[in-house]
Every structure is written in C-alpha cells, then in structure tokens.
Chains A and B, each alone.
Chain A
C-alpha cells in the first residue's frame, strides 16, 4: 500500500492535506489540523464535493449527501487552485492500493499540486505559479535532503520554464498534464480496482481476515466460543435466535432448509481441523491472546426482508427483518446464510467478563448508513458486562463494494483514548502492534459485500 503525502500549493507555502473523513454533517468543510477553525473556502469545497456542482461524489461513486471533513495544515486562500490536490487526495483515499498519510517521514511519495479541475476533469491554469513554487522552496529542499520521491503536478500549459525555478534533483520530478487521469496513471493510483473481477451476488458476504495466517486463529476462536457459550449462540449453530427451521430463498443459491444440527457438526469439524493444524502451535502467542479474547463473543448477523417484502419495508416501513448469522466456510471465509437481500448488519458484542470494548468500523470501500448511534460503551469509555448490539444499514445502491474492517479492542482499562488514537493512525499495522504491546487485545474481521449484478 503506497503512502502519499499531498500538498496544496499556495503563495504562503505548501499546505498539507492531512486527512479526509466522511462525516455526518450535511456540508463538507475544511478545518485546520483537527481544530474547529474552518477555512473560508469550505463552501467552495462543499460544492466541489457535491454531485451536480462538483466532481468528487460523482467520480468516486459516493451516494448523494456525502460530506467530508478535510483537515489541512494551514490556511488556504481564496481561489480554486487547491482543487487538483484535493482531487488527488480523494482519489488516494478511495483507492485500493494507496493511503493518505500526514506524517511526512512515513510517506512513500510526496505530491505537490496546483490546478483547477473542471467538470470534465481537465486541469486548468492557475495564477501565481512562480510565487507558489518559491514559497515551497524550503519544503523542496527538505524533500531533496530526505531523498523523498516527490512529484510536482502543474497544468500542462504552465509547464514551460519550470525547471529554471526548481533545481534539479533525482527525487523531484515535475509533471504537467491536461487531465487528472494522466496524474493518476503517473502515480499509479487505482481508483477502479476491485479485489476480484468475479461477479459477486449481493447476498454473499465474504469475510476475509487481514492476514491469511490468522484464519486458524479465528476458527479456533469461533470454535472455542461455541464450546463455552450457551447453545443459544446463533453465530454458527442455529443462524437465528428462532431455532425453527427457516426456509430461505435466494436467486442464486439453492433452497436450503437450515437445521441447527448441521452446524454442530460443522463446528466440530472445524474444531478437529483447528486442533490438527500445525499453525496453531506456531501461532501460540496469538492463540494465547485469542484465548483471552474468548471473553468476548462477537456475533454478526445479516438482516433481510421477510418473504414478500423488500428492504424498503424493513428500513422505512418498520417491518421486522429476518436475522441470519454469518457462517464460517471451509476456506475460512465468513459466509452469511443466503438471503434475497441484506438490508442491515447487526453486531452483537457479548462479554463473558467485565471488559472495556472499543469498536471501529474501518472503511476500506463503500459506505453504510448509520441508523443508530454507536453505543457509547463501544467507544471504550465504559466497562460492560452485558450484551451490546449495534446495527448499520446498507445502501440500496452500491457502486463500490461494501468493505469494512471490524476492529475490536478489549481490555480491563478504559480504551477510548486508544481507540481514538488508532483511528487517526495512517499505518494500521504499526498502530496495532503498539496497542498489543500495551496489553490491549485487537481483533479484526473483514466484511465485504459486493454490489448486485
């Protein structure tokens, strides 16, 4: 995953786009470095994001009413030359092979950009280019010293004589283009890539662990949970709280009559398999830590419409949905029981002992709709001993796969600060290690739902 640090060129110096966060507010805003200071150009940015007046929502397939909070390192004056840098920052954010970082030392590639972007994604000329380059001289010198790969993006028509203004350097290149796609190709950021070209049904949820080697850890965890939990645990055994057999119909999956007993067998199989696995021994540490994790049961359910109903009836009509649990397939992937449609996902967190739990839905792609506020207790600020649930809703139209990583922290101390810290970190793996070194348990599950055909 390539790490980009992106700068907006201004006559007052280069301003870094530190972070882009999808927000719950109706208007997009630009703030200075996580503060409440809003830049005056926020309205222009909002229009730039919004479909119809702008390009971000349209180009990156966000649904209507998407809004962002952009945190930048300093003041950006009036004008529109910030548009190109912001476009690139959004592109990096949604790409599958790149991330935006705020720590310059951590970045693999530095981008300095100036240009207006029109509705057809053409890059238009800007004013004061020479002044902007001059104002960023210190930055360029620093990057030169650090030998950081740096690309300066400018409009094609303004590329002449630029080399006179920027001293030659192996790591700094100047690239001029007419169209944003040229730039994306240049820095090899892929905003169209999907994990697999195979068509996936809307009702299949593929849960993949972040590292394949951890599949057995999960299996063991699940099996352990089923052994110690009561049989009302619906995750792998019965699929629903209602233990009556359920007839499920899907377009692509054969009708199945789901009986709890089958699951038991499967669970056993998984257990045997797990016990035999050499990787279990190899991953002893993980196992040990995961044994501690057995103090928390994390159950995931897909909620879908009853027969003759649709998600509209569930989401807006208040119709009671059917609840289907996630299953673990033989290949270690999580699979939901087949449903015609998945309207919502229900998380249930069930501690076996008093714990602090912090939960983060880390977005990889797509979006969900927050129909209820995440319980405060899942922010790691309260000790919990009873089951907590949380439901999110899936958008009806998904142009990008719904792909989220569920990160669960647990500890016997307050976790709210750690959770907030983790959310802000650009490098998840490094952050995870730090948390584990503090004695905090970290669990991750990937949930991916491809768009409908």
Chain B
C-alpha cells in the first residue's frame, strides 16, 4: 500500500497535466518497442543520402518527390552543397544551338553533333580544379520535381554527354526558368 496526501485543488490540475503528459509518453514510448519500421525517411537519412550516395536510390528519390516539403528540403540541401550552381537566367537566352552559358568557374555548351544531327553534345567545362568532380546534376523548376541525371566521369576538366536533341535533359538545360546544381 502506498499513501499520499490528498492534493489540493490547484495541485490536482498539475497532477492531471502530468498524468496527461505521462500517458502520451507511454503511448509514444510503446511505439519504441515495435519492430516494424514505419518506412518514412528522416531528414538525416535524406541529408546523408545526398552527401554520400554514389548512385541514386530510386525509392528515396521517389519518396522525396512525393512530399513537397521534403522536396524543398532536398533542394536546400542540394543547393547548399552544390559544386556548381546554375541559377535561373536573368533573361531568356537564345534557344538555338550551339547554346552557351557561362558561370563562375564553369561553362555549359550544347553543341550539335555533326555525325547525328538529332543528337547534341552537352559539355560542362570546369575552369578550376574540382575534387571530387560532380557526379550528378539536379534540376529545380517551380514546383516540378524533375529527376536527377548522373554525369559521366570528368576528364581534364570536361564533362561531356551525348543526348537526343529533344531530350528532357536538353530542354531543362536550355530553359531559363530552370535552376540546376552539379554535385
């Protein structure tokens, strides 16, 4: 048997508050013991994925794109850690090829292929030594959630891709409304 003094009216409210808090704590604490993972992604997991994953994880990319707030966080994390930043252009540039855009320490050129006129070369030239070289390019445009593209290995400061002229990648790169980040 345990004895307590009968609490005063004011004290009862305080005890009731504590009872309420402890009850919720019990409920949340009991969820600690379940073995099943809820399947959600934490900000830590997303951040570490952005910083360390060498190849994209489809499940994570899909989860990020399904939640607008996660997408905003994703964009913030990418933009803060990007090696190269391509902000929205101040004015619409020519849509003709070759297309060139200059930035701090980088140049992007999109050049028609002579061999295959429906294909283009996308050429990133990095003007200073960057190590490690960027391996992905991320796009952000309004509320859209474009996929990320993996970049080939950089060689002598150049990252070069061949793409179809009408590919989404080319369209995004030439769209002045697109922000792009390489990391």
Contact = CB atoms under 8 A, between A and B. Distances in A.
Interface of A: 19, 21-27, 29, 31, 34, 36, 38, 43, 46, 69, 71, 373, 379, 420
B153 A43 contact: yes
Nearest to A21: B115
Nearest to B155: A43
Interface in B159-174: 160-164
Interface string B137-179: 0000000000000001101001011111000000000000000
Contacts, number: 55
B112 interface: yes
6 contacts: A24-B114, A27-B158, A31-B162, A38-B152, A38-B161, A373-B97
B123 A26 contact: yes
A185 B136 CA distance: 47
Given A23-B113, A24-B114, A36 B155 contact: no
B162 A38 contact: yes
Nearest to B158: A26
B164 A29 contact: no
B119 interface: yes
Contacts of A22: 114
B111 A34 contact: no
A27 B155 contact: yes
B153 A34 contact: no
Given A25-B160, A26-B158, A36 B114 contact: no
Interface string B85-116: 00000000000111000000000000111111
Contacts of A29: 160, 162
Contacts of A19: 115
A69 B161 CA distance: 12
Nearest to A42: B152
B121 A36 contact: no
Contacts of A26: 123, 125, 158, 160
A34 to B, nearest CB: 6
B76 to A, nearest CB: 32
- Which residue among B97, B114, B125 has the maximum number of chain A CB atoms within 10 Å of its CB? B114
Contact of A36 (B98, B111, B158, B164): B164
B117 A24 contact: no
Contacts of B153: 43
A78 to B, nearest CB: 13
A25 B152 CA distance: 15
B160 A27 contact: yes
A126 to B, nearest CB: 24
Contacts of A21: 113-115
B164 A25 contact: no
Nearest to A43: B155
Listed from nearest, the 8 A-B pairs whose CB atoms lie closest are A21-B115, A25-B121, A36-B162, A27-B160, A69-B115, A24-B111, A26-B158, A43-B155
Interface residues of B, number: 23
A160 B114 CA distance: 43
Contacts of A31: 162
B123 A46 contact: no
Contacts of A69: 113-116, 162
Contacts of A46: 155
A125 B113 CA distance: 35
A25 B123 contact: yes
A32 B1 CA distance: 85
Given A26-B125, A43-B153, A43-B155, A36 B119 contact: yes
Nearest to B115: A21
Contacts of B161: 38
Nearest to A376: B96
Nearest to B125: A26
B117 A379 contact: yes
A29 B114 CA distance: 13
A380 to B, nearest CB: 11
B162 A24 contact: no
A24 B113 contact: yes
A23 B117 contact: no
Given A29-B160, A69-B162, A373-B112, 10 more contacts: A23-B121, A24-B98, A25-B160, A26-B158, A38-B152, A43-B155, A69-B113, A71-B115, A373-B96, A373-B98
Nearest to B112: A24
Contacts of A373: 96-98, 112
Contacts of B112: 24, 373
Contacts of A420: 117
A22 to B, nearest CB: 7
Contacts of B160: 25-27, 29
A19 B96 CA distance: 27
A36 B163 contact: yes
B174 to A, nearest CB: 15
Contacts of A43: 153, 155
Contacts of B164: 36
A364 to B, nearest CB: 16
Given A31-B162, A373-B98, A24 B155 contact: no
A29 B119 CA distance: 13
A71 to B, nearest CB: 7
A345 to B, nearest CB: 18
A26 B98 CA distance: 14
- Which residue among B113, B119, B123, B125 has the maximum number of chain A CB atoms within 10 Å of its CB? B113
A34 B115 CA distance: 8
A124 B117 CA distance: 37
Nearest to A34: B116
Contacts of B114: 21-24, 69
